[in-house]
Structure 1
């Protein structure tokens, strides 16, 4: 009994010490995230973009001092927890209402875009890691997908640089698309359903999809959101299959380790998605976990920004920008062609 008490006290002491070590960095990341949310609501700017830029402005906090451990924890562990909680947004029952043809179009668009990115990246001077990171984020769900995919890629000295550049790129392009694509929908004379499929199947981030869809009509907004959730649902299987392939054929990272066969955050995503699809999670819990996911991802991207060197990001070059733009235009073309064929 005495031994158990000593072990309990030791564990408690270690946990308390770890919490004290991580607290300053996590607190700074939370403050940056709250500031970004405030600015986004008052100046109509994506919160992810604001958190990233504010984080980069405070990058000195991620280089030395008491905040370093907590910032690292937020950039890795809180990020994975946020991605896992994304699963509560997925409901297979609602998605089936779109019909198998549209579901196949959206799923096919995701897979073909990833394949396209891997194929053309060499012409832009980039290797498979950056190609998969950018194509996956464009094809699935923007910044969230970029962070999830980055977690399974073998790490090297440029991993965070590639992640930050991708998040920045897809967020900016998604914001441009939120403004431009509704105009295109009207010019092409699409009906509410077709417009929703186009917006949900092409715009990178969920928030921008919602904004673009409901700027046209309520039905377009509902359809766009539903289509976007199909792309979000593709995150887990894409990351799972990719992690298996990478583990089998890719080189080990700088720590001498390979990515896990089934990342814990992917398993969490799948469990929550299944529970949500079968109606096992009460609506108020779903809303709570969904909001928690958004905040965790916002805090994580702020932390990632604070770990980033701006000069290194800018050194990625114009070819990287061109690659993300080409991938964005490609998925837009694929979805538009599919809508034209199906309707």
Structure 2
């Protein structure tokens, strides 16, 4: 059987470093308040006019460099913040990378998007439709949050992470295990941008049906916390069962980087020591679909992820969506 194997990794952050103190200058918050509730110290925001495709292409180029190639048979982009509502941003990413002509498409599953994109890419490899696929998670969340809403503006950041998946053997390091996915549309209002789609147009276009605040991202934090912990833990257990590992076998748990409390709660539910958590949100905030690949790239670069480490990935996002997978970390070149 053909397996999808991680053969390269890369990431990129925009130039706008924003500290908690920077945010406190413009809204009713403080560094202590943000760190206590989220674990976040800094994040990065795109400057005006920098689209998600730019972030994605920068990370993708570094992943291709890590893999020792300039080519890919397809590009799959996980994002909640495409350059435009139409068309998809992945073809533009492919163009920026000199890959015009290859299939390229977006995946929208919010914070679980990277795992959904891995599944799509792994399916292309398993079917023989591709030998090598570039998978990117990229977000410019600062463009869809209310900059004066401390419940969301302090949490989210912008950035991109990417991996190159290649065809390989199921038993080799880097081969993705079974990717467990799920969704529940009854929870759609937990994490949403209400306006801008076919259900509810932009407030400016139809002020009678939409509130101006509907153009911004909103989240019911307490309910999200409960569902995120439950679903991430359940899907991680399923992924471990498919792999044949026990929680004690896990060297690194890489959860969606939403909130430090969520990460600790998931580790506790799985009986995995918190010391085995990969934590990157303190530096970059919640980067939605980009959070897992950004965390992987950072842990790889710093040596926190070493070849042979048993790794579990788990996420929960809008939709609601969730998922998990497990793999043995491979030896990769630095980009």
TM over 0.5, yes or no?
no
**If the length of structure 1 is used for normalisation, what is the TM-score?**
0.28
Relative to the length of structure 2, the TM-score reads 0.28
Bigger strand share? 2
Considering fraction of residues, name the structure with more helix: 1
More RCO (CA 8 Å, sep 6+): 1
- Between structure 1 and structure 2, the one with the greater Rg is 1
